[in-house]
Structure 1
Amino acid sequence: MTEDDIVASWTERVRLATERQTPLRIRGGGTKDWYGQVLEGEVVDTRSHRGIIEYDPAELVITAKAGTPLVEIEARLEECGQMLPFEPPHFGRHATFGGCIAAGLAGPRRAATGAPRDFVLGAVVMNGQGQVLHFGGQVVKNVAGYDVSRLLAGSLGTLGLILELSVKVLPKPVAEATLKFDMNAIDAVRKLNEWSGRPLPLSASAWCDHTLALRLGGAEAAVKAARLSLGGEVVDAVEAERFWSGLREQTDPFFAVLPPRAALWRLSLPSIAEPMHLAGPHLMEWGGAQRWWITDADPQTVRISAKQAGGHATIFRTGAAYDRNTSVFTPLAAPMMKIHRGLKAAFDPARIFNRGRLYPDF
């Protein structure tokens, strides 16, 4: 099928689903099927709509179809010494470009560079009426409709069927080094906040089990000066790559064993928040702003703890026997939910796209 045939067939499916008010489940490689609420509806597989449309390294922008494999995007950028700045996790070799943005997840570099939504410049989306809408552009200076494009990041496909995306990219750092420190959680939070206020080329951090890892990235002179200033033990480059990749893809030993009745919680907190002295393994990333917690505590206890610390909590993964009859994402305040419902009604009035994936009644 040609590109036009694929889009035309999707238009017909979307219009028919809207007419009948039957749900459609937008799916790329399926590597993040476990993330979010329920999976409902007939699958719309986006992988047939693939390919890089335009990439000019000098402009620092890549435009590609949503079904393009993420590995293909990254390989093309690698050829020119560039990268997706938010270091997106794949969670499997079939991850797609559109799925990466729809999930809105970022890796260890998030605290230094920004989230996926910060780099989306433009998008082509099919709404619930089967109309193809264009937002934003393919150059950094073009900001028309920019906020609409950013809404797609983290929407989990609930607003529409993403067809194309234009994303800003960045050069890869010339030099990198990873340092390791023996440090308790309290000192780690203090040090991370102290270092973040200094002109250091920090690109990632992680604390777990009395060890703080720090990744530096930038010009060789800057990385060398930071190494001398900070001290610590230099980690072998191969081992460092394995460690940061393990955090991004959650293949690190911390994530390996999830008890049947426990959940892996993702807590978003102020970086200065004191370590939470609660039962269960903890891991801190993003300068202390992201905390992972494996616990069998009830959701209310976890969410109250996160709120008291100034943040919120999300159920990321669950054990085989965990009771999933609870909201994965922290319930929104009424004014914010009203805005969400308004957006959903504007893009998908019949609620056919990824019904219930973000919120149970959304």
Structure 2
Amino acid sequence: MDADRSRHLLEQVNQALNLGTPLRIQGGNSKAMLGRPVAGEIVDLREHRGILSYHPSELVLTARAGTPLREIEAALEQAGQMLTCEPPHLGPHATLGGMVAAGLSGPRRPWAGAVRDLVLGTRLISGHGKQLRLGGEVMKNVAGYDVSRLMAGSFGCLGLLTEISLKVLPKPRQCLSLRLPMPAQQALAALAQWGQQALPISAACHADDALHLRLEGGPGSVRSAHERLGGEVIDNHFWQQLREQRLAFFDDPAPLWRLSLPVATGLLELPGQQLLDWAGAQRWLKSTAPAALIRERVAKVGGHATAYSPGDHSSAPLAPVLLRYHQALKAQLDPQGLFNPGRLYADL
């Protein structure tokens, strides 16, 4: 059955190549609100699922792209391990392939790395109708750039992911979450100061006029940090609620924006409500302001803005040199523009 499913995917890609038919790749569709709409024949990966190999002592897991994230996280939980990037599901049917294609990371990202940092290797079907294996299944340093990591955040524009090998790590021995009432500006100043010190912080968010911190590590270091920082102990479930956009902040019916900013950026003057995540490097904005205004003000401080609400599918334009790199890469892996055409940018 598994070999039949892989063969069917390859046949579907080659048939689309022969007919010149674009393909719209989808898994659980939990990230469908991101990017531009794609017209094309649907390639549904949800049946191409299953964990292929997982040996906890080797800290590597390999699974098919359609494997539900909840199954992978359940297997890791049994072994006391985790995906350190804390990928958002944003829906009950999120898949491993969608996690890599979207490249989204949760609250731990500044301290533990992004999705691309976990990718060791991939198998994919290219726009030439060939099966490719990129990277490997072991943790080792190699010269040059690992092409498999280019798949992270590509939104399926470079190829059809079929298998992914990931680095996993043990869960921390101790986890403690705190709430410290303070205004946003004071929180940013405190985080800038604490960032220069040896504190076991693994998440930092300002919401509801309070700074929320997560401390992780050995019991002694967590206890010492708590004594130093103070604050009210809260349920660790807060971070899952943040990751899955279930906090009260996200109930506001205004359009949702994700702002990615340089470290130590001050408060932004933008209409609407803001929630600070990643110690301020990621901010969530609920605003009815025009997209052009939001993107202009974010760009002035060296950041970029992504719309998370349906209706605004425009992307901030790439610098000409970056656009050429994107187009050259697309031409190498998908010369006929078969996969998710225009999902990221109209010219890709």
Short-chain TM bin: over 0.9
In structure 1, the residue matched to 2:275 is 283
Cα separation, 2, equivalents of 1:360 and 1:31: 22
Cα separation, 2, equivalents of 1:32 and 1:250: 13
Bigger drift between 141-150 and 39-48 goes to 141-150
1:266 matched to 2:258: yes
Q: Give the count of matched residue pairs.
A: 348
Q: Which runs of 5+ in 2 are unaligned?
A: none
Q: Do the aligned partners of 1:158 and 1:354 also contact (CA within 8 Å) in 2?
A: yes
Deviations 1:231-258 (A, max 9, x none): 11222x3xx31x2111101111111122
Cα separation, 2, equivalents of 1:108 and 1:339: 30
SS in 2 for 1:203: strand
* TM-score, structure 2 normalization: 0.97
Deviations 1:4-45 (A, max 9, x none): 211222222111211222111111111111111113211111
SS in 1 for 2:92: coil
For residues 173-184 of structure 1, the aligned pairs below 5 Å read 173-184=172-183
Q: CA deviation at 1:144?
A: 7.3
Cα separation, 2, equivalents of 1:278 and 1:98: 34
Give the fraction of aligned pairs with identical amino acids, expressed as a percent.
49
For residues 21-100 of structure 1, the aligned pairs below 5 Å read 21-100=20-99
Amino acid at match of 2:316: T
In structure 2, the residue matched to 1:244 is 239
Q: CA deviation at 1:137?
A: 0.6
Which of 336, 345, 348 aligns to 1:350? It is: 336
Q: Do the aligned partners of 1:40 and 1:356 also contact (CA within 8 Å) in 2?
A: no
Q: Do the aligned partners of 2:172 and 2:216 also contact (CA within 8 Å) in 1?
A: yes
SS in 2 for 1:67: coil
Q: CA deviation at 1:303?
A: 1.2
Which of 299, 310, 313 aligns to 2:302? It is: 310
In structure 2, the residue matched to 1:301 is 293
Cα separation, 2, equivalents of 1:277 and 1:233: 30
In structure 1, the residue matched to 2:114 is 115
SS in 1 for 2:270: coil
In structure 1, the residue matched to 2:200 is 201
Amino acid at match of 1:359: Y
In structure 2, the residue matched to 1:254 is 249
Which of 298, 305, 322 aligns to 1:336? It is: 322
Cα separation, 2, equivalents of 1:210 and 1:309: 24
Cα separation, 1, equivalents of 2:222 and 2:245: 27
Q: CA deviation at 1:298?
A: 1.3
Q: Do the aligned partners of 1:267 and 1:306 also contact (CA within 8 Å) in 2?
A: yes
Amino acid at match of 1:81: G
Q: CA deviation at 1:130?
A: 1.7
Q: Which runs of 5+ in 1 are unaligned?
A: none
Cα separation, 1, equivalents of 2:100 and 2:145: 14
Q: CA deviation at 1:145?
A: 7.6
In structure 2, the residue matched to 1:152 is 151
Q: CA deviation at 1:196?
A: 1.3
What RMSD over aligned residues (CA atoms) do the two structures have, in Å?
A: 1.4
Q: Do the aligned partners of 2:52 and 2:63 also contact (CA within 8 Å) in 1?
A: yes
Q: Do the aligned partners of 1:86 and 1:109 also contact (CA within 8 Å) in 2?
A: yes
- Residues 56 and 142 (structure 1), Cα distance of their counterparts in 2 relative to 1, 3 Å cut: farther
1:126 matched to 2:125: yes
Amino acid at match of 1:274: G
Deviations 1:79-112 (A, max 9, x none): 1100001000111111111111111001111111
Q: Do the aligned partners of 1:85 and 1:170 also contact (CA within 8 Å) in 2?
A: yes
- Residues 97 and 287 (structure 1), Cα distance of their counterparts in 2 relative to 1, 3 Å cut: same
* TM-score, structure 1 normalization: 0.93
Q: Do the aligned partners of 1:39 and 1:354 also contact (CA within 8 Å) in 2?
A: yes
Q: CA deviation at 1:155?
A: 0.4
Q: Do the aligned partners of 2:30 and 2:93 also contact (CA within 8 Å) in 1?
A: yes
Deviations 1:123-163 (A, max 9, x none): 00100122000011101016478621100000001111101
SS in 1 for 2:146: helix
SS in 1 for 2:309: strand
SS in 2 for 1:92: coil
In structure 1, the residue matched to 2:345 is 359
Amino acid at match of 1:349: P
Q: Do the aligned partners of 2:271 and 2:288 also contact (CA within 8 Å) in 1?
A: no
Cα separation, 1, equivalents of 2:102 and 2:136: 21
Q: CA deviation at 1:54?
A: 1.1
Q: Do the aligned partners of 1:128 and 1:352 also contact (CA within 8 Å) in 2?
A: yes
Amino acid at match of 1:101: V
